[in-house]
């Protein structure tokens, strides 16, 4: 058994609420897995992936970023959860009057 790696899984889907689903939208999911095949399978188990009927467009194994090695280590206290810290910006189009 090898140590898990971090994978970015680039997923595509067609959202019927945006231009009747004519254009493909994309999201990136991060998963911990031992291989590209395992990463693809893990992404397909994600509830959002299933709910949006996504497909996998591509995968990247993330080994290092800006000269820093990415090393995953298990933390039983997380109970398998994924944690991400987000920061939103306010560059949204103004709301249209009703």
Q: What is the mean pLDDT of the chain?
A: 93
Q: What is the pLDDT of residue 18?
A: 85
More confident residue, 19 or 74: 74
DSSP 33: E
Q: What are the sequence ranges of the domains in the chain?
A: 5-74
Q: What is the assigned CATH class of domain 5-74? A: alpha beta
Q: Residue 14 and residue 48: Cα distance in Å, rounded? A: 13
pLDDT for 55-90, tens place per residue? Answer: 999 999 999 999 999 999 999 999 999 999 988 887
SS3 content of the chain, % helix, strand, coil (to 5): 20, 35, 45
12: Cα separation from own chain's centroid:
11
């Amino acid at each position: 058994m090898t140590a898990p790696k971090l994978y970015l899984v680039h997923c595509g889907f067609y959202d019927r609420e945006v231009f009747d689903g004519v254009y493909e939208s994309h999201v990136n999911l991060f998963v911990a897995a031992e291989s590209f095949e395992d990463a693809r399978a893990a992404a397909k188990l994600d509830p959002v992936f299933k709910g949006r009927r996504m497909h996998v467009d591509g995968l990247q194994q993330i080994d290092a970023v800006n000269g820093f090695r990415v090393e995953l280590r298990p933390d039983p206290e997380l109970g398998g959860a994924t944690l991400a810290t987000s920061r939103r910006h306010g560059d949204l189009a103004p709301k249209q009057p009703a």
